[in-house]
Chain A
Amino acid sequence: MQRSARVLGVSLLCTVVLLVSLAPLMSGFSGGIGGQRVANGCTCHGEGGADPSVSPLLLGVPQTYEAGMSYNLTVQIQGGPVPGGEHQGGFNLDASDGALLTRDDTTQRQEGQLTHTTAGNGQRTWQVAWMAPKEEDHIVTFRLLVNSVDGDFAPSSTDSWNRATFTSRGPGAGGIPQPQGGTHTPLLQRWFPLPLVVVLSLVLAVLIVLLLLPPAAVRGPLGRFLLHWLTTTNHKDIGVLYFVTSLLMYLVGGALAMVMRGQLAGPSGDLVSPQLYNQLVTMHGAIMALFFLSPLGFAFANYLVPLQIGARDLAFPRINALSYWLYLLGALVAASGFFVGGAADVGWTFYAPLTNATYSPGLGVDLAGIGLFLLFLSVTISTINFLVTILRLRAPTMGLWQVPMFTWSVLMTVLIMLIIFPALGGALLLLVSDRHFGTHFFDSALNGALLWDHLFWFFGHPEVYVLLLPSLGTTAEILQAFSRRPLYGRRYIMGAMVVGVVLSVIVWGHHMFTTGIDQRFLEVQVVLTESISIPFAVIVLCYILTLHGGKLRLRTPALWALGSLALFTIGGITGVFLASQALDTHLRGSYYVVAHFHYTLVGSTTFALIGGIYYWFPKMSGRMLSERLGRWHFGISFLSFNLNFLPLFELTDMPRRIATYDVARWVPYNQVATVGAIIFGVAQLLLIVNLLQSMRRGAPAGKDPWRGPSLEWTLSSPPPHDPSEQPPVVVAAPATQAVTTGSSSDPAVGTAKG
């Protein structure tokens, strides 16, 4: 019975992995029209891959044509080799309907298509005409190929050609538009994923052998080690897996950031190409937000929530393991783009229609999309797991309002996840369907760009709170332990979090202030977005008031938690600026926004979670971390973080996501930021050193090194792997007595047996 379940599970996993690794191949099999008659833009030259630096332009194409009207169009080449000399470029233009006409002797008709003549060799702009079809209900596709030539026409000179499609719709064209020109993936690129498939298959083979063998047959320390970590369903083990993986992601995402800041240290940095820079921008964002921050929070959640509420494990341990493996697979698939011809380079916001098959023909977007979809699956099952665990598996005497703050914050987090991740999953499915099966969900003619905006930000904005809430819970735990006082206004903080959750899912419109959509919707969004700072201001101020009347001990976790509150204050206040549609009209898309969200996501969230590492690592490993290294780590990180991001608030005119710039004013700010970033990056290695050193020779932590507030500190460090006895149970203290008398009588701790 158990064995057949395992076989079933393994074969399911194999199928998923195989499908995932094969999916990118589909991008090679385009079923589009056009593009087959002419191999490239100019038959005078050889063949080669499309050059993305060349942009074919067709100006004057009406969005809606008038039947029978004639339109003057301009063909133009942007980019490519620096022009000069006799031979500068060529083009080939095809219209699926109507008639293309020449206007002078620089162009000629060939089999209904238009191309340049020898006389038109020396230019990069051509005037042509197009007669619209007589019918009102057609959709016309223009396919334009251009070839940018470097001028000397040497036989050795390579072609720089590219293609683009444009559409014009008749006034009566309704229903489903005809498919636009399909993508053309060079043959070689189709088989690029092969190495990935091979590696994944090898991993699978190992997995299958390990999992199908009877456990007794696995021998040797390595075999046992692998078998244990691959098959474990224990919440503490899964927590450790999340912990290690997310820290690795922190290093990877950080390394990408270092390259980016290095590139921006001077105006015309040449560390990386613009193409690669866009990949770095995209993957840095995706990795840090989705594969580092959230999983680090969930590393703690996995490890601690059952301990904090006195449960033996999560409600569904196997689903918990599946959730981790889906997350790991998602991260690997998303990042694998770097090795198969380029990772996604469209920004982690994946704005349509830049992501469609025409503008992003490469595999990067597919791989990132599949990676995020796997993450969506992982998050969805994890959400159910935590909801059931927190709502149903609490120790008998622990009411819902009595759960520790960290557990409460996880409950709030999974509630948001439950609401928003389906939007992401659905949007990704539609995107993949557009890219590979010719659907038109995000077709510009059908306002697809705005549809993506709504779907993405319905997920994307609340996602910020998904990242933030576990860190707020962590801060609450740390503050109680180190200020030696109960949380100030605990119930109000819990309530404020609920309000924050509700508001967070109805304010996505502030990411669309400049889209020109209905102003009434946007003005409601202004008010709602401003309102969301109210609950969070209350939370921060209550946290600070917690210190009142306490005996604050400034150990490393407390430093990180207080630092996080200070930086959250700056991040929150600068966020109020962005909630004003008027101010956002200038600030949107600039480095001001970059600075703001790094204050919330790094300054606030990451700092608090690193505080969580210093706070809970002794519980997880049984050994203390070095206080001295931890203080240095905090001091350097705090200063260099501000050095990095404070100057960027001034760059309200510098666009995000650009690899080079030519404005003198931006240089000093960027230089300071780069210095700060590099110091910050190096300082993070202190954490790794500290963790490794502590595991080898850290001082024993004992049960309760910080005299922490919640149940996990009643257990040994590390807690017993399999809780053999009944878990400890909170005996509720009468609230009135505890608040008013402040007597030294212990609110009792006991076990269910006792």
Chain B
Amino acid sequence: MDPLIPLRLPVTGLHGPVYEQLFALYLGIGIVAALLVFSLMAYLIHRYRAAGPSDVDPPDAPRAGAAPIERGDCRVPLVLALLVTLVLFSVSLGTFDTIALYHDEPNDPDALRIDVVAYRYGFSYTYPDGSVVVDNLTVPVDRTVVLKITSTDVFHNFAVPELRLKADAIPGHTTMLWFKGDSPGTHRIQCMELCGTDHGAMVGSLRILSAPEYDQWVARGG
């Protein structure tokens, strides 16, 4: 296989690394939890396997039609529940910090505010000066960009996976997404909600330009 094809999804932007950190936390705890469960299962299967078809049953083996027998220490399920709860709520602390980062619109007077309108099958971008560009969004590096996203027809979704960004584009409703590019580059934008026949082709790109290049681009009239 071509060694140039990256097997992992690249990550960039302001949110990208924060997202990846949170993901790594979840993944680490998830893998430990899964390994614990699997080893417990493997151990019990190995340890308590019947020697053969004629192996003697335990005394409380189930019998057809017998009333169910209650078994087990009631503290075990409770401790388990408590343990799972603790783990979940410790990871969700990290989640709430990251949610705040995504959700709280930055109070940056210098922010570039762009209206995004999704349609079948593309995105149009209206800049503060009223100029409209379709498909490719061009922004300067290191500047806060605030997107107000809506749709003219059906439910779409505006996603920039390499920046770990995503928001629904819903007709009759506006969603907000903000980001800051940390290096010049081009990233894939795509629709991630089934919106019709050419949903798979509803792709554009995000161009992050250095400040002088961006000014040139604006001067050329977008």
Contact = CB atoms under 8 A, between A and B. Distances in A.
A585 B67 contact: no
Contacts of A481: 62
B219 interface: no
Interface stretch (A26-34, A55-63, A385-393): A55-63
A653 B9 contact: yes
Contacts of B8: 650
A429 interface: no
B23 A589 contact: no
Contact of A486 (B60, B76, B98, B101): B60
Interface residues of A, number: 138
A366 to B, nearest CB: 17
B143 interface: no
B59 A744 contact: yes
Given A78-B122, A544-B44, A707 B192 contact: no
Interface in A178-201: none
Given A486-B71, A488-B71, A581-B99, A530 B167 contact: no
B220 interface: no
Contacts, number: 374
Contacts of B155: 351-354, 449
Contacts of A55: 119-121, 198
B95 A665 contact: no
B69 A486 contact: yes
Interface of A is mostly: mixed
Nearest to B73: A489
A616 to B, nearest CB: 13
A582 B95 contact: yes
B81 A538 contact: yes
Point out which of B1, B19, B48, B176 has the most chain A C-beta atoms below 10 A from its C-beta: B48
A484 B57 contact: yes
A448 B55 CA distance: 64
Contact of A402 (B1, B68, B190): B68
A590 B62 contact: no
A303 to B, nearest CB: 16
Given A486-B70, A738-B70, A530 B192 contact: no
A709 B120 CA distance: 57
A735 B70 contact: yes
Interface string A632-674: 0000000000000000001011011111111111011000000
Contacts of B23: 577, 583
Nearest to B161: A653
Interface stretch (A91-99, A458-466, A568-576): A568-576
6 contacts: A61-B152, A78-B120, A531-B85, A547-B44, A580-B95, A585-B19
Interface of A: 52-53, 55, 57-61, 63, 74, 76, 78-79, 164, 166, 274-275, 278, 281, 345-347, 351-354, 359, 398, 402, 404, 443-450, 480-481, 483-493, 496, 514-516, 519, 523, 526-527, 530-531, 533-535, 537-538, 540-542, 544-545, 547-554, 562, 565-566, 569-570, 573-574, 576-577, 580-583, 585-586, 588-590, 650, 652-653, 655-665, 667-668, 703-704, 707-714, 728, 730-733, 735, 738-739, 742-744, 746-749
